[in-house]
Structure 1
Amino acid sequence: MGKLSFNRLKRYVNPEVFDFDTTEEIPPLEGIIGQDRAKKAMEFGIKIKQKGYNIFITGITGTGKTSFASSYIKKIARTEERPNDWVYVYNFEKPAQPIAIELPAGMGKQFKKDMEDFVEQLQRDIPKAFESDSYDMQKSEIIKKYQEKKSELMEELNTLAKSFGFVLKDTRTGIISIPVIEGRQISQEEFQQLDEETRKEIEKRAAEFEVKALQIWKEIQSIDKQARDEIKNLDNNIGLFAVGHLIEDLKGRYKVNESVLKYLESVKKDILENIGKRVNKLEEKVLEYFKRDIYLVDVEGERVGVVNGLAVINLGDYEFGKPSRITVTTYPGEEGVVNIERESKMSGRIHDKGVMILTGYLGSKFAKDFPLTLSARVVFEQSYEGVEGDSASSTELYALLSSLAEVSIKQGIAVTGSVNQFGEVQPVGGVTHKIEGFYKVCKEKGLTGEQGVIIPHQNVNNLVLTEEVIEAVKGGLFHIYSVKTIEEGIEILTGKSFEEIYDKVYRKLKYYYGLLSNKKEDKGDK
């Protein structure tokens, strides 16, 4: 034990003992230092060609084991026949067991490069194929065809429900039947307050209705399946168009190797089976159209007679929300509220009914002292497919009131919800998708902190929003409002009291009535 001096902290060598200036002058080491016997064993072992014979080398680091083994094997390899390449590829049937494929010497690297080029080409060609106008047109035709069939069956179902004393409502959990008593839909609470005899009679009718409706439901489900199958078949055809020629090119290069051909066929099969997972590409394209102002929707500023409504696009296995601009124009006349979708034969009966309810609301609110005399046009802008359902009826009413009062609507707030003749906002389906759809459009165009969505208060318990939307609401970048009445909603959309809106609408309608009355008097005098 003792303190070490500095000259014992490393090994010192006197350079004068060496007969060279640099190590470059020293010839490479051949063999293993002090291991002539091991060297001979290695040379002998390498010459054994039978399977099952291996060489294991161990020893002190720096003695030249690895260098010797490498140099000796390279020396021997120069005199031996060049071995074939082996490549491992993915096993689509048994992912845990890769497939080994033997290729002629030098072709392994080429095959690897060919597959990398193939993947790069797919990444360019597949999105391009599914973003083409041709694909969009074909898919739209399929959706339109089956939507029309489904709408016809839904109309048949609604008629059947009405004959049994019910109306159908679309909710997040599905379509439900609601009893109607004396022309009014009753709530669950009201149903429980009915006497036992009436409740039993309604329950009996409900059971009879379900039996009669079963076949129609089966046909609707069958149509949904047919639509999904046809879209999947279209996707496969489009995918095959993008993938097929690339696979065939590769098959031509490796046509003498059955293992490669089998692998390439499994690659094609897997691509086509999983190509449907890119359905969200349509949503991405829709968002891009909003961003580029191909779809015209403002998410900032204010406009008269313009409100952003919300719809759900259903692709079978995938759904997403899409805002639509709803516009209303009003002027003196006696045509009432005209649904342009209906006039162009693009509206279903439920949507027609929703628009008719608007006239009932205006009459009950504003035409007690004089006849309702106006002409109004309601339209879903940039709608090229059928419009069905009443989930936009409150949106249409807000736009109608805005046009009549000449009061601007905040474009950063979108709306969903149906309405009855008394101005009560009613629940609708797909609220979560609708909110998230408008949020994404606002995000693409730029969140301002003033944007949001108005929903029926009954739908609050149905919300299952993404964490991103929740965080945006939490941070004050986005807002969700629940309302019970049109009066509450119009105040949020305009920032004005309903009393002020009411007064402006009342005066406008009275003015229209006066104009038409004077014209009729003038004609009578003539």
Structure 2
Amino acid sequence: MAASVAPLNPEALYRRCEPAELPFQTTADLKDLHRIVGQERALDALEFGIGIRRQGYNLYALGPGGTGKHTIAFGFLQQRARAGEVPPDLCYVNNFEVSHRPIALKLPAGRGSKLQSEMRGLIEDLRVAIPAILEGEEYRNRRQLIDETTKSRQAEVFERLQADAQPKGIALLRTPMGFAFAPVRDGAALSPEDFQKLPEAERKRIEADLKALQDELEEALRKFPTWERERRDQARELDRQVTSAAVASGIAVVKDHFRDLPDVLAFLDAVEKDIVDNADAFLPTEGESQGMPGTPRLSPAVRDRFRRYRVNLLVDHTHQVGAPVIYEDNPTMPNLVGRVENLAELGALITDFTLIKAGALHRANGGYLMLDAQKLLVQPYAYEALKRALRARQITIESPGQALSLVSTVTVEPEPVFLDVKIVIVGTRDIYYLLAAQDPEFNDLFKVAADFDDDMPREGEAVLAYAQLIATIGRREGLKTLDRAAVARLIEQAGRIADDNQKLTTRFGDVADVMREGDYWAGKAKREVIGADDIEKAIDQQIYRSGRVREKSLEIIDSGIVLIDTAGSKVGQINGLSVLSLPNFSFGKPSRITARVRLGRGEVIDVERRVELGGPTHSKGVLILSAFLAARYASDQPLSLSATLVFEQSYGGVDGDSASSAELYALLSALSELPIDQSFAVTGSVNQFGQVQAIGGVNQKIEGYFDVCRHHGLTGKQGVLIPSTNVRHLMLRRDIVEAARNGQFRIYPIETIDQGIELLTGFPAGAREDDGKFPKGSVNRRVEDRLIALAQQRRRFGAGGDNGAETGQGGRT
């Protein structure tokens, strides 16, 4: 009996874009496209996420690679940022009270660099003015007076002690160990031997006098440190007096420029006090004063004695227009939150506030920061540091070593900075859903998802906008102009990439790649305009470069190593179709599926699952077809078969349910003992009601089987059964369309299992009649009769069932 399903017309296999429908001759006639097409949902999300200034409303732009989400989001941010306010400059300055905790200063844009230059000029002026004052004659006279006063007090003590000691025959002597008293005779100190020769009474008198004088000396010497402290205090006060005027006048000039900034004035007051207190630091060192070659080379920290007065300008917005938009390509933890660098000093690492470096959060503060999700997550502690900053709304500079208490090096703790930034993370959907499911903080911090679509409708206005986009990409890339036939071919390819003849891909990166390669081939052929042939060659060459594995697969089928029949008929055997996906290329591959049945306990055994080569989706498909068998043919009796399904010569994993209809056909053939025409290959999943459902990769699957048939020889009977719901996805190669037009190859749209089994076996499927039975001679009647016979046979065997048949559950497709 002839099948009721007709093959598809060749026009249904590929939706052409007729060049005559495009209202231009070349892309030179088209204006640039200044709007973004096909991403209205994502653009609305971007506008909302950027516009709402509430905590937690950061964005995650998700979508497949090549959709331009990074370029679109970054351009959108730049456009919105132009109207934003320029954020303040950020400086770190020395904390003169707690030196390891530098102070953060915020100044209006441009004034941070002014403060930095003003402080540099002030110190340079004071390095000249203070030494001039401290080396002046007046200063030296006053300083000499202070020193001489102290010396005279000390001298008076020694003179008085000497005067007290002389009448007693004792002298005050200066020794390497200090001052000491000793008995003298005739102007010379007695040796210990001579002293012992003195009469005992005299010795005792001298010893008593020595002790009294020594006690008096020690009492006097205890006053010397106090007098020395007083001398230093007087000298320091003198320094303050003579330098304060010069310092105050210099600081006053700087203060005049920052009267409106209290924090800056407080810093300048602290600088003034510190300079006055440490005026002697401005005197030249010995090496500096001599200025001679061969002077020992000093480290930067020692050589620059005025680092403490520097201004570390961390973020300078002098030339900034609008709010900043920053993209951090390497989002390590230090690159995000900043870092404190170190200098090697005598074998140790030292640091100070001048070695604080800005992170991306500092540079983007007051604006927008864009990050790549995958790059962020692979960097240790970077994601946690970002979340911590967003939660606290402040940037705390901390190294990973500090966070883990692994570093004992002396470091600084910069004052945290208030954070006001909008974060945009760009990444795949997989990462977004993983973070949303596994990180409880993610949804609170990234409340807005800008979901970039994979495709857009293929309609009249959209097609013209797509052509404009092609022209815009070409001009931006500096490519040759394209004629309208080339544009039409690109639009067709965009439908092919989208796997839908009603859609166009928004993975513009893939389209741009074809354009660049078409430009190359046009240039090689010395053509000034890119034509359809150049685009066609670019597409063919892309396939050729990636097609080694596909060619090897065809080769082993042609050589008979992998068994695939494309002619004849076999019971319980069918050609199933699968897709092999490589990183940049996918292709279809036919596989032989076989089914065997015998008496059993109602099991459909999936061999792939038993050997752990089948995935869960494949297992689901096998269980569904088991349910279909039981519901259709054994609703009032036990299902008494043991069936095995296997992908022959499959040595890798199998997943997906797209082969479940093919497995069911093979099982029905084995039960009915009706052979299946091996000219056909089948794809499609099945539900419990026997409806054939859509699958993915339909174009690659058809092309994979067609290539095998072409190698074996096209007979005119070969074809592929696909779900009717997949017809809209057909964008097949032109050689297949031509073969279909010539009657050499056919594509059949299938809606139900009954339609498919009729086409494959040539026998009617049969529907239940009024008596509840299927018509005699139909496939369904044969299957039901076989199952009834198996049930009766099982009853004869008794409860033992199939005498040792396997008891496992069925598995994966």
TM range (shorter): 0.3 to 0.5
User: Highest CA radius of gyration, 1 or 2?
Assistant: 2
Superposition TM-score, scaled by structure 1 size: 0.47
**Greater fraction of residues in helix:** 1
Per the normalisation by structure 2, the TM-score is: 0.31
Q: Which has the higher contact order (CA 8 A, sep 6+)?
A: 2
